[in-house]
Amino acid sequence: MSGSPLVNQLIEALRCLPGVGPKSAQRMAYHLLERERVAAENLSAVLAKAVNEVGHCELCRSLTERKVCDICESSNRDRTLLCIVESPSDVQVIEQSTDYKGLFFVLMGHLSPLDGIGPEDIGLDLLASRLDQGEVKEVVLATNFTIEGEATAHYISEMVNSRNIIASRIAHGVPVGGELEYVNSTTLSRAFSGRQNF
């Protein structure tokens, strides 16, 4: 540890980042202070600005510094399609790797009864009023394939079906490039029960 209290404070602060332990925090701090002063100043300014200004989109709850995010505002997206995901990073990967052209709704988590996380905590009251507006014709459930994600998808599907809207779930099965021998048994049995005409 360095003799400077401020440097130590910086190292300690950097440890809030995921995957950063004491050693890498120290490397980052020294790197910023010794070699990248300009970049460090830029980082601190942007970080402060982002923390102050970025909030949640009023429509999809994803992160944005405006009232409504770019995707929700865009005029060339299919407004009858609504995709439900657990986190803003899920929106990013879907945007980058698929040609999905509908809108999103971000739960910021999943239902977890044993942790006391219920429907309101993941914004399902907001989703309910969104569905009641009648614009959405199909809801695509893209929550994670964990037990909690499945329970969340099921709960939302009941909300959706009770309003006579179509609910669909993204497919699951053997990954592209995957060899059957190495796929875990639950995935493989799901892949078989969900097989399609070819």
Interface positions with another protein (CB under 8 A): 18-19, 113-116, 118-119, 124-125, 127-128, 145-147, 150-151, 153-159, 162, 184-187, 189
Least spacing, CB of residue 115 vs another protein, in Å: 7
Contacts of 165 (CB under 8 A, 6+ apart): 131, 136, 137, 138, 139
Q: Nearest CA to 122 among 112, 114, 110?
A: 110
Structure tokens at 60: 């999809």
Least spacing, CB of residue 184 vs another protein, in Å: 4
Q: Nearest CA to 29 among 15, 45, 18?
A: 15
Nearer to another protein, 54 or 93 (CB): 93
Nearer to another protein, 185 or 197 (CB): 185
Report d(CA 66, CA 69) in Å as an integer. Answer: 6
Nearer to another protein, 40 or 188 (CB): 188
Nearer to another protein, 102 or 149 (CB): 149
Least spacing, CB of residue 153 vs another protein, in Å: 8
Least spacing, CB of residue 55 vs another protein, in Å: 23
Report d(CA 9, CA 107) in Å as an integer. Answer: 34
